Amino acid sequence: MDKFRIQGGVPLEGEIAVGGAKNSALPALAACLLTSDPVTLRRIPPVRDIGTMQQLLQHAGADLEVADGSVTVRAARLDHPEAPYDLVKTMRASSLVLGPLVARTGRARVSMPGGCAIGARPINLHVAALEQLGAEIQHSHGYVEARAPHGLKGALVHFDRITVTGTEDVLMAAVLAEGETVIHNAAREPEVQDLALLLNKMGACVEGAGTSTIRVQGVAALHGTEHTIIADRIEAGTFLIAGAITRGDLVVSGFVPEHVYALTAKLRQAGVDITAAGEGALRVRAASRLRATDITTEEFPGFATDLQAQYMALITLAEGISFISETIFENRFMHTQELARMGATIRVEGRQAIVAGVTELTGAQVIASDLRASASLVLAGLVAHGETLVDRVYHIDRGYEKIEEKLARAGARIERII
Ligand code: EPZ
């Protein structure tokens, strides 16, 4: 099982370029099921979750051509509109094929996702939204079985709580539904906006993506197109924190700075120097000890829950006490025990972590529990005194393309040991 060996204490310098967004590529790939024409997607990050989604599309009957960084999907015939358990259990985002398959073929059989390290993460809101479009839903043998033999009908869909992939799932169903659909309390993430852009390039009629009310006029069919996925704002945020935690002087490029405004505002409050470094790039410098700074995770444009673990690693070294509130997932503090083994002082009370800053972290053997927790441990290892061994790095490979190579090119002493 792969590990990372990290020797801490090297300030990162130079430039790191960000790749395509995993959380935009996943719904974009699912959207290819909505047409029999070829769809070419560019800047697809070659990470494990993308591989799983590609397997799902092939299982459903689509043909894929994968070149360097781009994928062309031809979903001419979808003989098996289903997502089997052995694939869904490795990636919850598999539920993203539910909406497209029902809309395109009139039926879908998608395994219920199993448990997840960071929380229960049910898909009840996805299912309820599709029922509002007229899908008949049954649950049996651990699968959601959806049918719409006479097609879907546009409707007013209200989400009891904001859900990113729930919004994406029902949006992809609505584009082929008859009539108008209004999605109320929709997620506003950039990845939702990117999906709407792709759908409109395929001939859909979507308005309001990026706001909490999305309006869709259904069309009879969609056609092929080409689309470049937006940059990964979470990868960008992770590298900005890497520059700060190592007290380096690092440029992070190839992304949309306003997609990480909540993070950069907090980093500045903590005393990190962040400046524009040309189009789509930020320069991060941190020389002195940082100030304790509280965060509360929220849906976009609030502070991203996917950056909470990485921010916690940074703030363990700040002067003073910081309060971190996690409002999105019920169990997203598993990195705290591992950070504590490296010398951090953190107390978890329900959905709040209280971090009392220390002057240094020390290297240790630690175990990754989920994708963003593993990034947090790598960041801590970059600054800890001595050697850190991060085990189970297959978690990090789910969402970061060769993170150790990108960090090493900026000076980090990190290597993957098989
Ligand atoms: C997306 O997950 C992201 N994944 C997650 O990124 C991200 O953490 C999350 O949004 C929040 O921003 C992808 O886009 C592929 P939600 P998603 O539905 O859509 C509850 C990463 O690290 N909920 O917005 O699954 C849910 O349990 C991953 O890249 C229901 O109760 O998250 C959670 O508490 C991790 N019922 C809250 O809503 C539902 O039917 C928000 O979840 C759906 C969600």
Q: Which atom of ligand 1 is nearest to the CA of 127?
A: 40
| 207, 290: one domain | no
| 330, 280: one domain | yes
111: closest CA among 128, 88, 129, 91? Answer: 88
Tell me, what DSSP letter sits at residue 34? G
| 250, 399: one domain | yes
Q: How confident is the model at residue 338 (pLDDT cuts 50, 70, 90)?
A: very high
- β-bridge partners, 81: none
Question: What spacing in Å lies between the alpha carbon of 167 and ligand 1's midpoint?
Answer: 10
**Averaged pLDDT score across all residues of the chain:** 97
Token pair, residue 376, equals: 């947090």
DSSP 3-state percent helix, strand, coil across the chain (nearest 5): 35, 30, 35
Q: Which atom of ligand 1 is nearest to the CA of 92?
A: 25
Share of the chain above pLDDT 90, in %: 96
Encoded amino acid at 3, one letter: K
Question: What spacing in Å lies between the alpha carbon of 180 and ligand 1's midpoint?
Answer: 26
| 95, 190: one domain | yes
Q: Which atom of ligand 1 is nearest to the CA of 123?
A: 40
CATH code (residue 86): 3.65.10.10
Q: How confident is the model at residue 115 (pLDDT cuts 50, 70, 90)?
A: low
Confirm or reject: Cβ of 124 under 6 Å from ligand 1: yes
| 243, 178: one domain | no
Confirm or reject: Cβ of 98 under 6 Å from ligand 1: no
Q: Whose CA is nearest to atom 44 of ligand 1?
A: 163
- Per the CB < 8 A criterion, the answer to whether 383 and 10 are in contact is no
Q: Which atom of ligand 1 is nearest to the CA of 189?
A: 12
Question: What spacing in Å lies between the alpha carbon of 164 and ligand 1's midpoint?
Answer: 6
Confirm or reject: Cβ of 28 under 6 Å from ligand 1: no
Number of independent structural domains in the chain = 2
Q: What is the pLDDT of residue 122?
A: 87
Question: What spacing in Å lies between the alpha carbon of 129 and ligand 1's midpoint?
Answer: 15
Q: Whose CA is nearest to atom 30 of ligand 1?
A: 122
Catalytic residue among 17, 87, 116, 408: 116
| 247, 369: one domain | yes
Q: What is the pLDDT of residue 121?
A: 81
| 220, 256: one domain | no
Q: What is the pLDDT of residue 113?
A: 86
State mean pLDDT over 225-236: 98
Question: What spacing in Å lies between the alpha carbon of 343 and ligand 1's midpoint?
Answer: 31
Q: Whose CA is nearest to atom 18 of ligand 1?
A: 163
Confirm or reject: Cβ of 301 under 6 Å from ligand 1: no
Domain boundary among 228, 243, 276: 228
Confirm or reject: Cβ of 355 under 6 Å from ligand 1: no
State mean pLDDT over 110-119: 83
| 247, 106: one domain | no
Confirm or reject: Cβ of 164 under 6 Å from ligand 1: yes
Confirm or reject: Cβ of 351 under 6 Å from ligand 1: no
Q: Is pLDDT above 70 for 321?
A: yes
- Per the CB < 8 A criterion, the answer to whether 131 and 167 are in contact is no
Q: Is pLDDT above 70 for 323?
A: yes
The answer for residues whose C-beta is within 8 angstroms of residue 403's C-beta and 6 or more apart is 238, 375, 378, 396
| 142, 258: one domain | no
Reading across the β-sheet that carries 365-367, which strands appear in turn?
365-367, 387-391, 3-7, 413-417
Residues counted in the chain: 418
Question: What spacing in Å lies between the alpha carbon of 361 and ligand 1's midpoint?
Answer: 31
State mean pLDDT over 311-328: 98
Confirm or reject: Cβ of 35 under 6 Å from ligand 1: no
What does the alpha-carbon distance between residue 219 and residue 413 come to, in Å, rounded to a whole number?
53
Q: What confidence tens digit (pLDDT) does each residue in 118-139 have?
A: 888 889 999 999 999 999 999 9
Residue from 123, 326, 328, 395 whose mutation best tests the ligand 1 pocket (most atoms within 8 A of CB): 328
- Per the CB < 8 A criterion, the answer to whether 151 and 221 are in contact is no
Tell me the Ramachandran region of residue 91: left when phi exceeds 0, alpha when psi lies from -120 to 50, beta otherwise: beta
Q: What confidence tens digit (pLDDT) does each residue in 396-418 have?
A: 999 999 999 999 999 999 999 98
| 34, 139: one domain | yes
Q: What confidence tens digit (pLDDT) does each residue in 347-385 have?
A: 999 999 999 999 999 999 999 999 999 999 999 999 999
Q: What is the pLDDT of residue 410?
A: 98
Confirm or reject: Cβ of 266 under 6 Å from ligand 1: no
Domain boundary among 200, 228, 256: 228
Confirm or reject: Cβ of 398 under 6 Å from ligand 1: no
Token pair, residue 296, equals: 């509360």
Q: Structural domain of residue 269, as residue ranges?
A: 3-18+231-417
Answer positive or negative: Cα dihedral of 272, 332, 323, 318: negative
Confirm or reject: Cβ of 119 under 6 Å from ligand 1: yes
32 is catalytic: no
| 101, 210: one domain | yes
Domain boundary among 228, 255, 275: 228
- The verdict on pTM exceeding 0.95 is yes
Q: Is pLDDT above 90 for 263?
A: yes
| 53, 140: one domain | yes
Q: Which atom of ligand 1 is nearest to the CA of 49?
A: 15
Question: What spacing in Å lies between the alpha carbon of 92 and ligand 1's midpoint?
Answer: 9
